[in-house]
Structure 1
Protein backbone atom coordinates (compact mmCIF):
# COMPACT_ATOMS: atom_id res chain seq x y z
CA UNK A 1 0.00 0.00 0.00
CA UNK A 2 0.97 3.60 -0.52
CA UNK A 3 -0.56 6.86 0.66
CA UNK A 4 -2.04 8.63 -2.40
CA UNK A 5 -3.54 11.92 -1.25
CA UNK A 6 -5.16 13.91 1.52
CA UNK A 7 -8.40 15.76 0.74
CA UNK A 8 -9.24 19.25 2.01
CA UNK A 9 -12.58 20.98 1.36
CA UNK A 10 -12.00 24.56 0.29
CA UNK A 11 -14.38 27.53 0.11
CA UNK A 12 -12.61 29.42 -2.68
CA UNK A 13 -10.76 27.26 -5.19
CA UNK A 14 -8.92 30.16 -6.85
CA UNK A 15 -7.58 31.47 -3.51
CA UNK A 16 -6.56 27.95 -2.47
CA UNK A 17 -4.78 27.24 -5.76
CA UNK A 18 -2.96 30.57 -5.48
CA UNK A 19 -1.84 29.69 -1.94
CA UNK A 20 -0.73 26.12 -2.60
CA UNK A 21 0.82 26.80 -6.03
CA UNK A 22 2.13 30.38 -5.85
CA UNK A 23 2.93 30.66 -2.13
CA UNK A 24 3.94 27.07 -1.28
CA UNK A 25 5.34 26.19 -4.71
CA UNK A 26 3.17 23.17 -5.52
CA UNK A 27 2.03 22.43 -9.06
CA UNK A 28 -1.54 21.99 -10.22
CA UNK A 29 -1.44 18.39 -11.40
CA UNK A 30 -5.02 18.05 -12.61
CA UNK A 31 -8.39 19.71 -12.20
CA UNK A 32 -11.87 18.57 -13.23
CA UNK A 33 -15.36 19.99 -12.86
CA UNK A 34 -18.25 17.66 -12.03
CA UNK A 35 -21.35 19.68 -13.06
CA UNK A 36 -23.78 16.92 -12.09
CA UNK A 37 -22.45 16.95 -8.54
CA UNK A 38 -21.70 20.69 -8.50
CA UNK A 39 -18.09 20.29 -7.39
CA UNK A 40 -14.53 20.62 -8.69
CA UNK A 41 -11.52 18.51 -7.75
CA UNK A 42 -8.02 19.95 -8.05
CA UNK A 43 -4.92 17.90 -7.23
CA UNK A 44 -1.74 19.75 -6.24
CA UNK A 45 1.68 18.57 -5.16
CA UNK A 46 5.44 18.64 -5.57
CA UNK A 47 5.60 15.74 -7.99
CA UNK A 48 3.45 13.46 -10.11
CA UNK A 49 0.82 11.32 -8.43
CA UNK A 50 2.51 8.11 -9.54
CA UNK A 51 5.42 8.75 -7.16
CA UNK A 52 4.28 11.39 -4.66
CA UNK A 53 1.53 11.93 -2.11
CA UNK A 54 -0.56 14.96 -3.10
CA UNK A 55 -3.39 17.17 -1.85
CA UNK A 56 -6.87 16.94 -3.28
CA UNK A 57 -8.67 20.26 -3.00
CA UNK A 58 -12.42 19.72 -3.17
CA UNK A 59 -14.53 22.75 -4.03
CA UNK A 60 -18.29 22.31 -3.62
CA UNK A 61 -19.85 25.04 -5.74
CA UNK A 62 -22.58 25.92 -3.25
CA UNK A 63 -20.31 26.12 -0.16
CA UNK A 64 -17.97 29.01 0.55
CA UNK A 65 -16.94 28.15 4.13
CA UNK A 66 -16.21 25.09 6.27
CA UNK A 67 -15.72 24.66 9.99
CA UNK A 68 -12.40 22.86 10.42
CA UNK A 69 -13.37 21.05 13.61
CA UNK A 70 -11.25 19.78 16.46
CA UNK A 71 -10.06 16.57 14.81
CA UNK A 72 -7.91 18.15 12.08
CA UNK A 73 -4.27 18.77 12.96
CA UNK A 74 -2.10 19.84 10.05
CA UNK A 75 -0.32 18.88 6.85
CA UNK A 76 3.50 18.87 7.16
CA UNK A 77 5.99 19.99 4.50
CA UNK A 78 9.77 19.61 4.67
CA UNK A 79 11.75 22.70 3.65
CA UNK A 80 15.46 23.38 3.09
CA UNK A 81 15.52 26.86 4.71
CA UNK A 82 12.58 27.46 7.03
CA UNK A 83 13.48 31.10 7.73
CA UNK A 84 13.68 32.05 4.04
CA UNK A 85 10.53 30.04 3.34
CA UNK A 86 8.55 31.89 6.03
CA UNK A 87 9.86 35.26 4.83
CA UNK A 88 8.81 34.38 1.27
CA UNK A 89 5.37 33.29 2.43
CA UNK A 90 4.89 36.58 4.28
CA UNK A 91 6.10 38.58 1.27
CA UNK A 92 3.43 36.86 -0.86
CA UNK A 93 0.71 37.73 1.65
CA UNK A 94 0.65 34.37 3.41
CA UNK A 95 -0.05 34.06 7.11
CA UNK A 96 2.70 32.66 9.38
CA UNK A 97 0.99 31.72 12.65
CA UNK A 98 4.10 30.37 14.41
CA UNK A 99 7.51 31.78 13.58
CA UNK A 100 10.36 29.30 12.95
CA UNK A 101 12.11 27.82 15.96
CA UNK A 102 12.63 24.58 17.85
CA UNK A 103 9.51 22.69 18.82
CA UNK A 104 8.65 22.47 22.51
CA UNK A 105 10.55 19.65 24.23
CA UNK A 106 12.62 18.89 21.13
CA UNK A 107 15.14 20.14 18.61
CA UNK A 108 13.13 19.88 15.38
CA UNK A 109 12.82 23.37 13.88
CA UNK A 110 9.23 24.07 12.86
CA UNK A 111 6.89 26.87 11.84
CA UNK A 112 3.18 27.00 11.04
CA UNK A 113 1.35 28.80 8.25
CA UNK A 114 -2.35 28.96 7.48
CA UNK A 115 -4.10 28.52 4.13
CA UNK A 116 -7.05 30.70 3.02
CA UNK A 117 -9.54 28.36 4.73
CA UNK A 118 -7.64 28.29 8.03
CA UNK A 119 -6.01 24.87 7.59
CA UNK A 120 -2.68 24.66 9.40
CA UNK A 121 0.42 23.72 7.42
CA UNK A 122 3.50 22.77 9.43
CA UNK A 123 6.89 23.55 7.93
CA UNK A 124 9.77 21.38 9.13
CA UNK A 125 13.40 22.32 8.58
CA UNK A 126 14.88 19.28 6.85
CA UNK A 127 17.72 17.70 8.80
CA UNK A 128 16.38 18.71 12.22
CA UNK A 129 13.76 15.96 12.58
CA UNK A 130 13.89 13.23 15.22
CA UNK A 131 16.60 10.57 15.32
CA UNK A 132 14.53 7.87 13.55
CA UNK A 133 14.13 10.07 10.47
CA UNK A 134 17.83 11.01 10.57
CA UNK A 135 18.78 7.32 10.65
CA UNK A 136 16.62 6.63 7.58
CA UNK A 137 18.16 9.62 5.76
CA UNK A 138 21.69 8.51 6.65
CA UNK A 139 20.99 4.92 5.60
CA UNK A 140 19.74 6.01 2.18
CA UNK A 141 22.48 8.61 1.58
Structure 2
Protein backbone atom coordinates (compact mmCIF):
# COMPACT_ATOMS: atom_id res chain seq x y z
CA UNK A 1 0.00 0.00 0.00
CA UNK A 2 0.98 3.63 -0.38
CA UNK A 3 -0.45 7.06 0.31
CA UNK A 4 -1.95 8.46 -2.93
CA UNK A 5 -3.28 11.95 -2.23
CA UNK A 6 -4.77 14.38 0.25
CA UNK A 7 -8.02 16.07 -0.77
CA UNK A 8 -8.78 19.69 0.13
CA UNK A 9 -12.08 21.41 -0.65
CA UNK A 10 -11.51 24.86 -2.12
CA UNK A 11 -13.83 27.83 -2.58
CA UNK A 12 -12.07 29.42 -5.59
CA UNK A 13 -10.38 26.84 -7.79
CA UNK A 14 -8.39 29.30 -9.90
CA UNK A 15 -7.07 31.15 -6.85
CA UNK A 16 -6.01 27.84 -5.29
CA UNK A 17 -4.43 26.60 -8.53
CA UNK A 18 -2.46 29.85 -8.76
CA UNK A 19 -1.27 29.47 -5.16
CA UNK A 20 -0.16 25.85 -5.41
CA UNK A 21 1.46 26.33 -8.84
CA UNK A 22 3.00 29.79 -8.57
CA UNK A 23 3.72 30.09 -4.85
CA UNK A 24 4.53 26.46 -3.98
CA UNK A 25 5.86 25.44 -7.43
CA UNK A 26 3.59 22.41 -7.80
CA UNK A 27 2.61 21.17 -11.24
CA UNK A 28 -0.99 20.63 -12.33
CA UNK A 29 -0.99 16.94 -13.17
CA UNK A 30 -4.60 16.55 -14.26
CA UNK A 31 -7.97 18.23 -13.96
CA UNK A 32 -11.49 16.99 -14.63
CA UNK A 33 -15.04 18.29 -14.36
CA UNK A 34 -18.19 16.40 -13.50
CA UNK A 35 -21.14 18.42 -14.85
CA UNK A 36 -23.75 15.99 -13.55
CA UNK A 37 -22.61 16.31 -9.93
CA UNK A 38 -21.22 19.84 -10.32
CA UNK A 39 -17.63 19.56 -9.16
CA UNK A 40 -14.11 19.96 -10.53
CA UNK A 41 -11.04 18.00 -9.40
CA UNK A 42 -7.47 19.16 -9.84
CA UNK A 43 -4.45 17.06 -8.88
CA UNK A 44 -1.14 18.83 -8.20
CA UNK A 45 2.25 17.73 -7.00
CA UNK A 46 6.00 17.70 -7.39
CA UNK A 47 6.17 14.50 -9.39
CA UNK A 48 4.11 11.93 -11.23
CA UNK A 49 1.27 10.34 -9.27
CA UNK A 50 2.79 6.92 -9.97
CA UNK A 51 5.76 7.82 -7.77
CA UNK A 52 4.66 10.57 -5.37
CA UNK A 53 1.80 11.61 -3.14
CA UNK A 54 -0.19 14.56 -4.50
CA UNK A 55 -2.82 17.11 -3.48
CA UNK A 56 -6.37 16.84 -4.82
CA UNK A 57 -8.24 20.15 -4.89
CA UNK A 58 -12.01 19.69 -5.04
CA UNK A 59 -14.20 22.58 -6.10
CA UNK A 60 -17.92 21.98 -5.54
CA UNK A 61 -19.58 24.42 -7.94
CA UNK A 62 -21.32 27.27 -6.19
CA UNK A 63 -19.77 26.65 -2.77
CA UNK A 64 -17.83 29.70 -1.64
CA UNK A 65 -16.75 28.70 1.87
CA UNK A 66 -16.22 25.73 4.17
CA UNK A 67 -16.14 25.25 7.93
CA UNK A 68 -12.57 24.23 8.73
CA UNK A 69 -13.41 22.51 11.98
CA UNK A 70 -10.73 21.92 14.57
CA UNK A 71 -9.42 18.47 13.63
CA UNK A 72 -7.35 19.39 10.56
CA UNK A 73 -3.67 19.97 11.23
CA UNK A 74 -1.46 20.65 8.22
CA UNK A 75 0.29 19.32 5.14
CA UNK A 76 4.10 19.17 5.33
CA UNK A 77 6.37 20.03 2.41
CA UNK A 78 10.13 19.62 2.37
CA UNK A 79 12.13 22.55 1.00
CA UNK A 80 15.82 22.86 0.12
CA UNK A 81 16.17 26.35 1.62
CA UNK A 82 13.35 27.33 3.95
CA UNK A 83 14.46 30.95 4.25
CA UNK A 84 14.57 31.48 0.48
CA UNK A 85 11.25 29.64 0.07
CA UNK A 86 9.56 31.89 2.64
CA UNK A 87 10.93 35.03 0.98
CA UNK A 88 9.56 33.85 -2.37
CA UNK A 89 6.17 33.05 -0.84
CA UNK A 90 5.99 36.53 0.73
CA UNK A 91 7.05 38.23 -2.51
CA UNK A 92 4.17 36.47 -4.30
CA UNK A 93 1.65 37.59 -1.67
CA UNK A 94 1.58 34.36 0.34
CA UNK A 95 0.90 34.50 4.06
CA UNK A 96 3.64 33.14 6.33
CA UNK A 97 2.01 32.49 9.71
CA UNK A 98 5.21 31.26 11.39
CA UNK A 99 8.58 32.53 10.27
CA UNK A 100 11.36 29.96 9.80
CA UNK A 101 13.02 28.76 12.97
CA UNK A 102 13.55 25.72 15.16
CA UNK A 103 10.51 23.79 16.32
CA UNK A 104 9.77 24.34 20.02
CA UNK A 105 11.91 21.96 22.04
CA UNK A 106 13.92 20.81 19.03
CA UNK A 107 16.27 21.79 16.24
CA UNK A 108 14.22 21.04 13.12
CA UNK A 109 13.77 24.28 11.15
CA UNK A 110 10.14 24.79 10.15
CA UNK A 111 7.79 27.54 8.98
CA UNK A 112 4.07 27.70 8.24
CA UNK A 113 2.19 29.23 5.31
CA UNK A 114 -1.57 29.55 4.83
CA UNK A 115 -3.24 28.75 1.49
CA UNK A 116 -6.15 30.83 0.08
CA UNK A 117 -8.73 28.73 1.95
CA UNK A 118 -6.87 28.88 5.26
CA UNK A 119 -5.30 25.41 5.13
CA UNK A 120 -1.98 25.32 6.97
CA UNK A 121 1.13 24.07 5.21
CA UNK A 122 4.27 23.28 7.20
CA UNK A 123 7.56 23.84 5.45
CA UNK A 124 10.46 21.71 6.71
CA UNK A 125 14.05 22.48 5.79
CA UNK A 126 15.46 19.51 3.82
CA UNK A 127 18.51 18.92 6.02
CA UNK A 128 16.13 18.69 8.99
CA UNK A 129 13.45 16.53 7.35
CA UNK A 130 12.93 13.36 9.30
CA UNK A 131 14.55 14.73 12.45
CA UNK A 132 11.25 16.33 13.46
CA UNK A 133 9.26 13.11 13.37
CA UNK A 134 7.37 12.79 16.59
CA UNK A 135 7.89 16.43 17.61
CA UNK A 136 4.80 18.49 18.27
Same fold (TM over 0.5): yes
Distance apart, 1:130 and its partner CA: 4.7
User: What is the aligned-residue RMSD (CA, Å)?
Assistant: 1.2
The structure number with the bigger radius of gyration is: 1
**4+ residue runs of structure 1 moved beyond 2 angstroms?**
129-133
TM-score, normalising length from structure 2? Answer: 0.95
- Counterpart in 1 of 2:23? 23
TM-score, normalising length from structure 1? Answer: 0.91
Q: How many residues were matched structurally?
A: 133
- The answer to whether the 8 A contact 1:96-1:112 is kept is yes
> Residues 68-119 of structure 1: CA distance to partner in whole angstroms, max 9, x if unpaired?
1100000000000000000000000000000000000110000000000000
Please, which runs of 5 or more residues in structure 2 have no aligned partner?
none
Q: Give the 3-state SS of the residue equivalent to 2:72 in structure 1.
A: coil
- Counterpart in 1 of 2:107? 107
User: Aligned partners of 1:35 and 1:116: how far apart in 2?
Assistant: 25
Please, which runs of 5 or more residues in structure 1 have no aligned partner?
134-141
